[in-house]
């Protein structure tokens, strides 16, 4: 591994209070220093932070990083989190690559256009039923806890075919507790067995039909689920952006054909703090004027890259007509999120409905005062917005 200065001299990667639509001042400062630079993680370890779009995309295309480490017990860590430990697919880089290809081959067909069309109908139904309830109670609501969370969790459960939405989501969001990891996978295995006895149009049924073992299905469900736990946060950030920018809200209402462009802009700005999947260099990598050593921890921050002014002029401006908009919200290359079609469908249905059914949508607090989940020790899955008070 490469040598580095005393870890205490490195900048600590701990962002300030998140604000919707703005790049954190720490990350802006680090981005201005260099596209790739050494930082200190919350565990006290050293890592390479990639802050600029071009360098991040190059790394993702080249595929010289893996969710694995040759010596897991002594690896540098991003967070003390069993979720990230789970993503260490193997102790050998070649083994990790093989497992990654196997997982993607099994999962990609589950997001085919035909299946997404079926899910779109159920998503639209969920969106309007939730809005019916909120409008009946109106004219104020918390659109994070009363809309984004139940919608996203329901969509995830529909996708998988798990029998008990509340237990499933509670289990997944509790996986940051190492003591509960075994319980989660035991529950998922039970859910798979139940669905096999009660087949439907879902991931478990389709994987079971092609003979995937129960334990592997449970692992694949977890693999799919973790990224989708971020979706409620992105949806709430997008809702806040429309509420804070009535001219963009009204533009989408007048020109519904802009919905795909609007979704892309929400996705670009949809994070409010570092958005990192830790990876390890599978070989020495020279990029951005530095050499990342074999086995070094690499933090690919899609949040910072999506605010790179070299690619996105005036990056803190919310513009649903922005073009081109080559954001990296779903990563890129072999790491591109296979669930992207479903996430985009959900966001499209949400914002199309909001601008028509809540045409006066507005925040009841300044955008800087939107309540946020503040945990100094760990980045929450889907963390950021804690509640979203609005009126209409």
**3-state helix/strand/coil string of 323-365:** CCCCCCCCCCHHHCCCCHHHHHHHHHHHHHHHHHHCCCCEECC
State mean pLDDT over 167-191: 83
Non-local CB neighbours of 314 within 8 Å, separated by 6+ positions? none
Query: Residue 81 is encoded by which pair of tokens?
Result: 């989190």
For 256-288, give the DSSP string. Answer: GGGHHHHHHHHHHH--SS--EEEEEESS-EEET
Q: What is the pLDDT of residues 337-357, one digit of tens each?
A: 889 999 999 999 999 999 999
Q: What is the pLDDT of residues 25-74, one digit of tens each?
A: 999 999 999 999 999 998 999 999 999 999 999 999 998 998 888 888 88
- What residue ranges do the domains of the chain occupy? 7-391
State mean pLDDT over 282-292: 96
Residues paired with residue 148 on neighbouring β-strands, in sequence order: none
Quote the CA–CA distance of 340 and 247 in Å, as a whole number.
Answer: 27
Nearest to 389 by CA among 160, 173, 139: 139
Nearest to 54 by CA among 323, 337, 308: 308
Residue 184's pLDDT is what?
A: 85
225: DSSP letter: H
Residue 376's pLDDT is what?
A: 47
How wide is the angle at C-alpha 288 spanned by C-alphas 282 and 293, nearest 5°? Answer: 30
Residue 105's pLDDT is what?
A: 81
State mean pLDDT over 282-307: 96
Return the H-helix or E-strand segment holding 39: strand 36-40
- R_g over Cα of the chain: 21
The confidence band for 190, taking pLDDT boundaries of 50, 70 and 90, is very high
3-state secondary structure of 37: strand
Residues 65, 284 contacting (CB under 8 angstroms): no
- The CATH architecture one would assign to domain 7-391 is Orthogonal Bundle (1.10)
State mean pLDDT over 93-111: 75
Residue 172's pLDDT is what?
A: 80
Residue 371: CB atoms within 10 Å: 13
Residue 383's pLDDT is what?
A: 59
Higher pLDDT, 213 or 99: 213
Query: Residue 271 is encoded by which pair of tokens?
Result: 């994070």
Residue 278's pLDDT is what?
A: 87
The confidence band for 158, taking pLDDT boundaries of 50, 70 and 90, is very high
Residue 275's pLDDT is what?
A: 81
The confidence band for 96, taking pLDDT boundaries of 50, 70 and 90, is low
pLDDT above 60 (res 89) = no
The confidence band for 82, taking pLDDT boundaries of 50, 70 and 90, is low
3-state secondary structure of 202: coil
Residue 378's pLDDT is what?
A: 42
Bridge-based pairing of strands 297-301 and 46-50 is: parallel
Q: The dihedral of CA 13, 231, 112, 242: what is its sign?
A: negative
State mean pLDDT over 384-390: 95
Residue 85's pLDDT is what?
A: 56
pLDDT above 70 (res 226) = yes
Q: What is the pLDDT of residues 309-335, one digit of tens each?
A: 999 999 999 999 999 999 999 999 888
The confidence band for 377, taking pLDDT boundaries of 50, 70 and 90, is very low
Q: The dihedral of CA 171, 172, 173, 174: what is its sign?
A: positive
pLDDT above 60 (res 3) = no
Nearest to 20 by CA among 386, 391, 392, 384: 384
The confidence band for 375, taking pLDDT boundaries of 50, 70 and 90, is low
Residue 355's pLDDT is what?
A: 98
- Chain centre distance of CA 184: 20
Residue 380's pLDDT is what?
A: 45
Residues 39, 49 contacting (CB under 8 angstroms): yes
Q: What is the 3-state secondary structure (H, E, C) of 100-116?
A: HHHHHHHHHHHHCHHHH
Single pTM value for the model: 0.91
State mean pLDDT over 204-221: 90
């Amino acid at each position: 591994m490469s040598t580095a200065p005393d870890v205490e001299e490195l900048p600590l990667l701990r962002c300030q209070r998140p604000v919707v639509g703005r790049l954190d001042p720490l990350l802006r400062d680090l981005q201005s220093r260099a596209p790739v630079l050494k930082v200190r993680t919350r565990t006290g370890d050293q890592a390479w932070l990639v802050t600029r779009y071009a360098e991040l995309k190059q790394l993702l295309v080249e595929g010289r990083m893996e969710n694995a480490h040759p010596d897991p017990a002594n690896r540098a860590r991003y967070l003390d989190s069993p979720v990230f430990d789970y993503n260490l697919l193997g102790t050998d880089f070649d083994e990790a690559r093989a497992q990654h290809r196997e997982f993607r081959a099994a999962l990609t067909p589950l997001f085919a256009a035909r299946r997404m069309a079926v899910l779109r109908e159920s998503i639209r139904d969920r969106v309007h039923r939730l809005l019916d309830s909120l409008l009946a109670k109106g004219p104020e609501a918390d659109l994070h806890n009363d809309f984004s969370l139940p919608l996203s969790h329901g969509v995830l459960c529909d996708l998988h075919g798990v029998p008990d939405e509340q237990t499933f989501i509670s289990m997944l969001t509790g996986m940051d507790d190492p003591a509960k990891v075994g319980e989660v996978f035991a529950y998922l295995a039970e859910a798979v067995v139940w669905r096999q006895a009660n087949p439907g149009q879902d991931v478990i049924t389709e994987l079971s039909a092609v003979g995937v073992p129960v334990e592997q299905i449970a692992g694949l469900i977890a693999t799919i689920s973790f990224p989708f736990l971020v979706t409620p946060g992105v949806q709430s950030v997008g809702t806040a952006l429309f509420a804070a920018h009535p001219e963009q809200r009204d533009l989408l209402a007048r020109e519904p054909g802009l919905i795909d462009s609007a979704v892309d802009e929400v996705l670009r700005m949809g994070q409010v703090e570092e958005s990192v999947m830790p990876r390890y260099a599978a070989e020495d990598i020279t990029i951005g004027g530095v050499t990342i050593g074999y086995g070094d921890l690499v933090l690919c921050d899609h949040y910072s890259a999506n605010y790179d002014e070299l690619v996105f002029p005036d990056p803190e401006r919310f513009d649903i007509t922005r073009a081109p908009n080559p954001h990296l919200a779903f990563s890129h290359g072999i790491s591109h999120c296979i669930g992207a079609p479903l996430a985009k469908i959900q966001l499209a249905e949400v914002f199309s409905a909001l601008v028509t059914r809540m045409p006066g949508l507005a925040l009841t607090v300044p955008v800087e005062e939107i309540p946020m989940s503040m945990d100094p020790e760990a980045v929450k899955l889907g963390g950021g917005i804690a509640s979203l008070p609005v009126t209409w």
